[in-house]
């Protein structure tokens, strides 16, 4: 069975792509096989919808929309979805969160990282556990991380550290192994892959695509990821969005999908 991934929005426009396509920080992918169509993330606003129209892609009759996590550059386009859209995600997607710094023991908020979205308009499937979206598509649920890293704060009574525990990935069970589609990779690409292998019982990885959050990673961290990929031997590695040029440099033989690209995985 063939899987097609249309890059509706990414930080860059693909070489040779229609110049009318919008490229901006964010990610939105339309993932389709012969039976199902899943919208993975919406980018920061309605640009994904404009690009889809420009690319001649119809977003009616989606099987589901999956949100990787609640940062604005991945879920900010939700207001542009039709009412009662089926949205599969972690309940923490709705948290109000900020980038923050600690100054002399006091937390100072810098920038809001979550969009202002009325999720009540939609058919929300909020879960921390895996969800079988269709025969081959699976939502990962919450990803276990031994030592999570904080990426700001969640606005509540305690101003809790934000470990992006709401981040999950879209999994496709292909005949050649798992295809794992990541939004930002805040939970760590190694943790993500191991989690997907654990919940599916499938060790073979056909492809990894999406943001791997490596643009500011240390050489040690990049070396760990490099060694891990050599160990699991995915047939294709396609890092984009927050993978960054630095991450791409360390990940040999990678493709970097951009706005307007169409990827076919057999």
Domain ranges of the chain: 3-265
CA separation for the pair 165, 220 (Å, rounded) = 24
Q: Is the pLDDT of residue 35 over 90?
A: yes
- pLDDT tier at 23, thresholds 50, 70, 90: very high
Taking alpha carbons only, the member of 166, 200, 172, 167 closest to residue 184 is 167
Among 157, 148, 184, which residue's Cα sits nearest to residue 72? Answer: 184
Exposed e or buried b per residue across 221-238, where buried means at least 16 C-beta atoms within 10 angstroms of its C-beta: bbeebeeebeeeebebbb
Q: Are 138 and 132 in contact (CB under 8 A)?
A: yes
**For 214-242, what is each residue's pLDDT tens digit?**
988 899 999 999 999 999 999 999 999 99
**CATH level 2 (architecture), domain 3-265:** 4-Layer Sandwich (3.60)
Q: Is pTM beyond 0.85 here?
A: yes
Name 257's Cβ contacts closer than 8 Å, sequence gap at least 6: 5, 7, 10, 14, 209, 238, 240, 263
pLDDT on residue 265: 95
Q: How confident is the model at residue 28 (pLDDT cuts 50, 70, 90)?
A: very high
End-to-end CA distance of the chain: 6
Question: So what's the pLDDT on residue 158?
Answer: 80
CA angle, 179 then 222 then 251, to 5° = 50
């Amino acid at each position: 069975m063939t899987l097609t991934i249309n890059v509706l929005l990414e930080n860059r426009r693909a070489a040779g792509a229609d110049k009318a396509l919008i490229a901006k920080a964010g990610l939105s992918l339309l993932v389709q096989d012969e039976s199902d169509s899943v919208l993975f993330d919406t980018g920061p606003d309605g640009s994904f919808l404009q690009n889809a129209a420009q690319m001649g892609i119809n977003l009616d009759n989606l099987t589901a929309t999956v949100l990787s996590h609640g940062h604005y550059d991945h879920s900010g386009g939700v207001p542009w979805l039709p009412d009662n859209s089926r949205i599969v995600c972690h309940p923490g997607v709705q948290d109000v969160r900020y980038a923050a710094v600690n100054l002399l023991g006091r937390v100072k908020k810098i920038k809001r990282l979550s969009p202002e979205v009325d999720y009540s308009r939609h058919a929300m499937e909020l879960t921390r556990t895996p969800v079988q979206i269709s025969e081959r598509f699976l939502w990962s649920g919450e990803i276990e991380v031994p030592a999570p890293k904080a990426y700001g704060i969640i606005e509540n009574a305690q101003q809790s550290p934000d470990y992006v525990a709401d981040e999950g990935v879209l999994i496709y069970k292909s005949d050649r192994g798992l295809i794992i589609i990541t939004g930002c990779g805040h939970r760590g690409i190694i943790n993500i892959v191991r989690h997907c292998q654990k919940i599916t019982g499938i060790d073979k990885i056909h492809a990894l695509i999406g943001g791997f959050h490596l643009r500011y990673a240390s050489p040690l961290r990049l070396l760990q990821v490099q060694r891990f990929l050599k160990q699991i031997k995915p047939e294709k590695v396609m890092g984009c969005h927050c993978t960054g040029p630095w991450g791409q440099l360390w990940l040999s033989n990678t493709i970097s999908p951009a706005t307007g690209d169409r990827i076919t995985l057999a």
